[in-house]
Structure 1
Amino acid sequence: MTRPDPAGVPGARQAAGPGGRRISVRLRLTLVYGSLFFAVGVVLVLVNYLFVQRTIEQPVMASKPTAFAVRIPAEEALQQVPPPGTMRIVGELRDVYRTNVMTSMLQWSLLAIAVVGGAGLAIGWIVARRVLAPLHKMTETARRLSESTLHERIALDGPHDELRELADTFDSMLERLNRAFDSQRRFVANASHELRTPLAIDRALLQVSMTDPQLPRQVRKVGAELLESNGRQERLIEGLLLLAQSERELTTRRPVDLAELAGSALTSVPEATAELRAAPAAGDPVLLERMIGNLLDNAVKYNDERGLVILRTGQDRWGNVVTVENTGRPVPAGRVDDLFEPFRRLDRDRTGSAGGAGLGLSIVRAVAQAHRGSVEARPRPDGGLVVTVRLPPAPPPPQHLPDLSAAAPLALPSGR
């Protein structure tokens, strides 16, 4: 089990990049949009630069005489010949002019590319957020879902595009999963209820029969074994009923103190040591007390001759904490998660239920998840387990406005 994310922003929204770095999809889309803006701007600048360069280098010559042409006699034309070096100076000025024009145009074009590219990045960032908003909504909904909250739906609004089709497909899948889980829980609950009655009848018949003093010793021994087997089956059915009940959505949420519930559960385990601190929470008191009782029963049942059982309650920065520590046989670290599965035991024995039905920690996990919490276990170095349940703190009480109905009426001036 993983510890809840205190920031509330898990890293699942980001994709792993090279070197272990994470780049979000929104940033990648922004870079794509900005790159397209830059690429188009560079192409436009190159085309414009080549066109202006070709145009400005064309010689300016009169192809035919104009209407304003003036005829100059040959003698005067010879007298108006420019002095030597003038054409060279004019050519140099023309080259300087062309160079200045092309340099200025290139500089302003590059500045325009930078401005347009920056605007493209900003627009791409905004557009990417709007495009990914439905995906974020689907992700948040999927993250909130559990077996007890499968009734929630995305219900995405907007045009019937690919994202709307994906959201509708996800909603239909949730509907099917909800029906499947409800059907499974109803089957377990109904089967457990149906089995309780014949088992109670069998136990009553066996107990009545065992009261006969004329029964042979061998028959009494078989009757005692049948009564013990009947008790194990009843405990198994009770566990199935509680598991089915704890996996449903909570209908009762009341302010409770986990320390008080732990104190009530300790009455059946006198050998346990308690370190109880206040831990206010909100939930079903019956299920929470049964969760703590299952932790204690599990700690006592799988203990060794050292017999150490410590129950702690309190708070940390994550919320409320309930910890049960016990001694016992060494538990491999790779097998710890298997202990939270129904009917799973450390020795992989699925038939012999003398030590228990294998539902204790499964019920603990189901109750914790129903209360939006988590449970984790770690093996002790010298044998045994440390099981920690984390539950969210109780919400603050609503602030009501003061009741002014019983206040003394204000003395208004009479106007005299």
Structure 2
Amino acid sequence: MSSRRISVRLRLTLVYGSLFSAAGLVLVLANYFVVRQMLHQPVRVTPREAVAVPLPRDGDLLRTFTDAKGQYRDSVMASMVQWSLLATVIVGVTGLAVGWIVARRALAPLHTMTEAARRLSESTLHERIALDGPRDELRDLADTFDSMLERLDHAFDSQRRFVANASHELRTPLAINRALVQVSMTDPGLPAEIRAVGAELLAAGARQERLIEGLLLLAQSERELTERRPVDLAELAGSALASVPEATADLSPAPATGDPVLLGQMIGNLLDNAVKYNDGRALVTVRTGRDRRGSVVTVENTGRVVPADRIEELFEPFRRLDRDRTGSTAGAGLGLSIVRAVARAHRGSVEAVPRPGGGLTVTVRLAPG
């Protein structure tokens, strides 16, 4: 097992247990050599004691004493090794248990912070770790994390307020301008030159409204979903097809969970892009269904050949195949950006591949409902 796959708690436990085991082994070795040295020391007796001990001439008693001493020494050494090894095992197991408990207590604050980071989303930014205990490195880390959460909460709250205010402040003047121009153009005596200018103003206002709607939808779709409910991508695709009568469809049930308005807008953007960037073949196909990874909706169209290395650029805001910024009546350049943002907000994915002969096949995959 590589060191990257071993948890910090396990590494600390192994370190503690190894230290205990090493200490026990050193103790065993020390005891072994000390006892061995003591048992091999010569026995000294006084001359009076030596005279009192009668020794037979053949030396049988001396040999018997020597053998008994050797057996005694071997027995002592064997017993000492056995009991020392047993003590080492006991000390090692105890060290592992103590190390595991100590590591768990030491890493408990980190576990709490990890769980908080895993739960982190726009709807849970109000939560705080609020770690108790002494003022140490872990406490400082938890307080820093709480400060970061507070700043993120303020930032997301400011973004929500901005989107809500911009939705009103940007749409209202454009709607008023459009109404004034339309009312002015109803005058039958209006010169043709003025009428042409009015038509250009209406077209420019329509482009601005589409751009603002796209930006607001992009900002809204990049936020965390606060409400989810079961939906069927097939039904949403069927509703979107009402505005694209030339498209062909193969709609199978594709249950998912999410915001029906955003998902409907996502499919509508896919169809809108498929129609805008089509060619004379005018092929638009919509398919929905399920596979092993979830529910899918696929929109395919004909069109010009798209290089594979340019696919990712099409998902960036204000990007087109020929130019980086808007400036035509084709659209605001936000269609696929909104599609990807909605898919990610629903924890899904989007993939685009070039069609043989020109055009794109765009597939959105969401978790099943």
Which TM-score band (shorter chain)? 0.7 to 0.9
Structure 1 match to 2:20? 37
Tell me the distance in 2 between the aligned counterparts of 1:363 and 1:249.
14
Trace 1:82-121 onto structure 2 (pairs within 5 A).
Answer: 83-121=58-96
The equivalent position to 1:151 in structure 2, one of 112, 119, 125, is 125
Summarize deviations over 1:90-113 as a string: whole Å, max 9, x none: 334423432342244234433443
Tell me the distance in 1 between the aligned counterparts of 2:71 and 2:176.
113
Structure 1 unmatched runs, 5+: 1-15, 395-416
Moved more, 45-54 or 382-391: 382-391
Tell me the distance in 1 between the aligned counterparts of 2:310 and 2:109.
39
Summarize deviations over 1:134-188 as a string: whole Å, max 9, x none: 4344334323434x33525352554244334322321220210121232234224
Tell me the distance in 1 between the aligned counterparts of 2:72 and 2:323.
91
TM-score, L = length of structure 1: 0.75
- Give the drift of 1:130: 4.5
Q: Is the 8 A contact 1:330 1:379 kept in 2?
A: no
Tell me the distance in 2 between the aligned counterparts of 1:278 and 1:64.
110
Percent identity over paired residues: 68
Tell me the distance in 1 between the aligned counterparts of 2:307 and 2:110.
40
- Give the drift of 1:267: 0.8
Structure 1 match to 2:244? 269
- Give the drift of 1:381: 5.1
Q: Provide closer, same or farther for how the CA distance between residues 220 and 152 of structure 1 changes in structure 2, counting only shifts above 3 A.
A: same
TM-score, L = length of structure 2: 0.83
Summarize deviations over 1:284-322 as a string: whole Å, max 9, x none: 322221122122212322333443333232333433333
Structure 1 match to 2:352? 378
Q: Provide closer, same or farther for how the CA distance between residues 133 and 286 of structure 1 changes in structure 2, counting only shifts above 3 A.
A: same
- Asked whether 1:307 is paired with 2:313, we answer no
Structure 2 match to 1:139? 114
RMSD between aligned alpha carbons?
Answer: 3.3
Provide the aligned length of Structure 1 versus Structure 2: 367
Q: Provide closer, same or farther for how the CA distance between residues 187 and 78 of structure 1 changes in structure 2, counting only shifts above 3 A.
A: closer
- Give the drift of 1:236: 1.2
Structure 1 match to 2:295? 320
Q: Provide closer, same or farther for how the CA distance between residues 300 and 86 of structure 1 changes in structure 2, counting only shifts above 3 A.
A: farther
- Asked whether 1:341 is paired with 2:316, we answer yes
Q: Provide closer, same or farther for how the CA distance between residues 78 and 101 of structure 1 changes in structure 2, counting only shifts above 3 A.
A: closer
Q: Is the 8 A contact 1:252 1:283 kept in 2?
A: yes
Summarize deviations over 1:332-353 as a string: whole Å, max 9, x none: 5554444333333344422325
Q: Provide closer, same or farther for how the CA distance between residues 322 and 34 of structure 1 changes in structure 2, counting only shifts above 3 A.
A: farther
Moved more, 50-59 or 208-217: 208-217
Moved more, 45-54 or 82-91: 82-91
Tell me the distance in 2 between the aligned counterparts of 1:378 and 1:82.
108
Structure 2 match to 1:28? 11
- Give the drift of 1:231: 0.4
Which has more helix, going by share of residues? 2
- Asked whether 1:202 is paired with 2:165, we answer no
Q: Provide closer, same or farther for how the CA distance between residues 30 and 259 of structure 1 changes in structure 2, counting only shifts above 3 A.
A: same
Tell me the distance in 2 between the aligned counterparts of 1:322 and 1:145.
29
Structure 2 unmatched runs, 5+: none
Tell me the distance in 2 between the aligned counterparts of 1:336 and 1:377.
9
Q: Provide closer, same or farther for how the CA distance between residues 140 and 316 of structure 1 changes in structure 2, counting only shifts above 3 A.
A: farther
Moved more, 384-393 or 28-37: 384-393
- Asked whether 1:186 is paired with 2:161, we answer yes
- Give the drift of 1:190: 1.8
Q: Is the 8 A contact 2:126 2:153 kept in 1?
A: no
Q: Provide closer, same or farther for how the CA distance between residues 90 and 280 of structure 1 changes in structure 2, counting only shifts above 3 A.
A: same
Tell me the distance in 1 between the aligned counterparts of 2:71 and 2:287.
87
Structure 1 match to 2:199? 224
Summarize deviations over 1:197-231 as a string: whole Å, max 9, x none: 22122222322333445555544443322221110
Summarize deviations over 1:48-80 as a string: whole Å, max 9, x none: 222222232233445798xxx8xx9x7xx5865
Tell me the distance in 1 between the aligned counterparts of 2:312 and 2:115.
26
- Asked whether 1:291 is paired with 2:266, we answer yes
Q: Provide closer, same or farther for how the CA distance between residues 195 and 165 of structure 1 changes in structure 2, counting only shifts above 3 A.
A: same
Structure 1 match to 2:341? 366
Q: Provide closer, same or farther for how the CA distance between residues 352 and 79 of structure 1 changes in structure 2, counting only shifts above 3 A.
A: closer
Question: Which residue type is aligned with residue 54 of structure 1?
Answer: Q
